[in-house]
Amino acid sequence: MAGTDPRARAERRSAGELESEVLAALWATDRPLTPAEIQAEIDGPLAYNTVHTILKRLYDKGLVLRDADGRRGAYRPAKNAAELTAEAMHEALDRGPDPIAALQQFVTGLRPEEEKALRDLLAGGAG
């Protein structure tokens, strides 16, 4: 079955989805990343050329900066819009449970005994 082949799954990702994944990888770390480093930070095999194409698109949109921190060929995310969004998000969250609590947040809070069980799960897993 094609669906069980991880390579086939990686290939199936659309350009928009890959853009999100590259941007997410750049935001996950504090240091600028080269395309090769980004390649390693993306789940599933992804051609070097594809990474390049996606980076160019993100650069054209003003979402990433090139040659960051004096490192030639390295990229890091542009912060301006993200900082404004963070401000607006905190403001909305601080206003109380009304607006954002109505959203489906990825995860909600834990009880202490749940916390221990989850730590055990992560320690026991292969990851």
Residue numbers of the site for other proteins (CB under 8 A)? 3-4, 6, 9, 16-17, 19-21, 23-25, 27-30, 41-44, 61-63, 77, 79-86, 88-90, 92-93, 96-111, 114-115, 117-119, 121-122, 125-127
The residues, ordered by sequence, that sit 6+ positions from 60 with a Cβ below 8 Å of its Cβ are none
Q: How far apart are CA 26 and CA 20, in angstroms?
A: 10
Query: Minimum CB separation from other proteins for residue 70, in Å?
Result: 22
- Give whichever of 70 and 112 is closer to other proteins, judged by the CB atom: 112
- Give whichever of 72 and 111 is closer to other proteins, judged by the CB atom: 111
Going 45 to 55 to 75 to 13, the CA torsion angle's sign is negative
Angle at the Cα of 81 (from 75 to 82), degrees rounded to 5? 70
Tokens 């009880």 belong to residue: 111
**Main-chain dihedrals φ then ψ at residue 33, nearest 5 degrees:** -120, 140
Query: Minimum CB separation from other proteins for residue 111, in Å?
Result: 7
Query: Minimum CB separation from other proteins for residue 10, in Å?
Result: 9
Query: Minimum CB separation from other proteins for residue 20, in Å?
Result: 4
